[in-house]
Amino acid sequence: MVSSKEIASAKSGASSKRPVSDFLVIERINQCPKLASLRSINQTLSSLLNSEESFVAQIAEVIRLDPSLTTRVLDLVNSIFFGSPDEQQVKGVEEAALFLGLNRISELIIATPIIEDIVDLGKSAKSLDWVDFWKHSIGTAILTREILVIADFPCKDESDYVAGLLHNLGKIIMAVTFPDEFSRIYERSYKDAKEFCDSERSLLGWDHAKMGAFYLWNHHISREIVETAQWHNEPNSAPHHPELAAAAQLGDILVQSVGISGIERSKPMPRENWTDVPGWGILFGEKSEKETQNLIVELEQTLERVGNTLKGII
């Protein structure tokens, strides 16, 4: 994470080699409003879901109080289970909650307020394609959680999903704080994440990963989420939670492989190269050829399920 020493150094004088000083970057990020959803994500419903005596009727009653969450719950269950015919669609929240189960409901609880807060934050960034951005972010969030389970590193809380959801938050922060530079960066196509981040750093001295991590750290978000934002492209550099950063890296790459690349124009990584990225080695280590192929098949099946889920959320 950005250290206090780096901040002090930035405030004492900007590097002459950079077109934008660290001081200016920090100052503009500090001016971005806080996201209330990051500190308190629908506490009533979250506590109810975590209770051993959770009843679907109670959960449905709380969901009904949030029109946006109600819409997402109904859209998701109808997309996944019933397709489009109106006569088959579920129209009640309680019935929808039964179909989806507590895991999917909890993901919607987390995603809905965060999406609304960040959309409000980024309203000034008119060049952003919000639908593509959120498809990619939610796809990465779901895959981050699924990959950790497959790799036998399951999280006991919701940090895996939130870390995946916010891995690209820095792109929003960059679009809001440096709109002209952001437009110049995103009008190009890139061969991979490294070339993309190099382009960001050449203009701003910071890339989106560092910007997102600084914003989250500045608002006292938990270390594993901050670390994932900073190191999702280089998980082997994550000092405390490399597995979470590795899962976010793989989730990011996998969701791009099915054409959900987000707002940047980068080429998807061929599936035969998935095993070459640092995240794969961190999570799965050395595997036989047969074990590797089995893992790839399992990940491809997970990807197919994620595609169906995204149709209902976005």
Distance, CA of 26 to CA of 125 (rounded, Å): 19
Q: What is the mean pLDDT of residues 53-80?
A: 66
Closest CA to 217 of 38, 7, 1: 1
Q: Which residues pair with 79 in a beta bridge?
A: none
- Do β-strands 265-266 and 189-190 pair in parallel, antiparallel, or remain unpaired? parallel
Closest CA to 248 of 151, 173, 174, 182: 151
Q: Which residues of the chain form beta strands (DSSP E)?
A: 189-190, 265-266
CB-based contacts of 85: which residues, under 8 Å, 6+ apart?
none
Please determine, for residue 278, whether its predicted confidence score (pLDDT) is greater than 90.
yes
Q: What is the pLDDT of residue 252?
A: 94
Q: Among 98-112, 197-211, 226-240, 280-294, which stretch is predicted with the lowest mean pLDDT?
A: 98-112
Least confident range from 18-32, 113-127, 144-158: namely 113-127
In sequence order, which residues have a C-beta less than 8 Å from that of residue 283 and are 6 or more positions away? 147, 148, 151, 153, 243, 246, 247, 250
Q: What is the mean pLDDT of residues 171-183?
A: 88
pLDDT tens-digit series, residues 243-265: 999 999 999 999 988 888 777 76
Strand partners, 14: none
Main-chain dihedrals φ then ψ at residue 266, nearest 5 degrees: -125, 150
Helix, strand, or coil (residue 266): strand
Distance CA 93, CA 102 (A): 13
Q: Is the pLDDT of residue 68 over 60?
A: yes
Average pLDDT over residues 106-128: 68
Instruction: List pLDDT tens digits, range 26-52.
Output: 999 998 877 766 655 445 445 655 664
- At residue 66, does pLDDT exceed 70? no
Instruction: Please say whether the beta carbons of 55 and 45 come within 8 A.
Output: no
Residue 8: band (very low, low, confident or very high) from pLDDT cuts 50, 70, 90: very low
pLDDT at 138: 86
> What pLDDT, on a 0 to 100 scale, did the predictor assign at position 89?
67
**DSSP assignment letter at 255:** H
CATH fold of 18-313 = Hypothetical protein af1432 (1.10.3210)
- Could you tell me the two tokens for 288? 């036989």
- Mean pLDDT lowest among 91-95, 232-236, 293-297: 91-95
Which residue's entry shows tokens 């895991």? 103
Mean pLDDT of 226-242: 95
Distance CA 254, CA 307 (A): 11
286/275 Cα distance (integer angstroms): 10
Cβ atoms within 10 A of the Cβ of 18, count? 16
Residues 245/231, Cβ–Cβ less than 8 Å: yes
Confidence of residue 16 (pLDDT cuts 50, 70, 90): very low
- Give burial (CB, 10 Å; 0-12/13-18/19+) of 290: exposed
| pLDDT digit string, tens, across residues 121-140 | 666 666 667 778 888 888 99
Highest mean pLDDT pick, 32-46, 63-77, 85-99, 139-153:
139-153
Provide the pLDDT confidence category of residue 229 given band limits of 50, 70 and 90: very high
Q: Sign of torsion, CA 301 167 163 139?
A: negative
C-alpha to C-alpha distance for 88 and 107, rounded to whole angstroms: 24
Cα radius of gyration rounded to whole Å, the chain: 20
Centre a 10 Å sphere on the Cβ of residue 179 and count the other Cβ atoms it contains. 15
Reading the block at residue 214, the tokens are: 């600084």
- Taking each continuous run of H as one helix and of E as one strand, the counts in the chain are 17, 2
pLDDT at 64 over 90: no
**What is residue 313's predicted lDDT score, i.e. its pLDDT?**
59
User: Which tokens go with 262?
Assistant: 């987000």
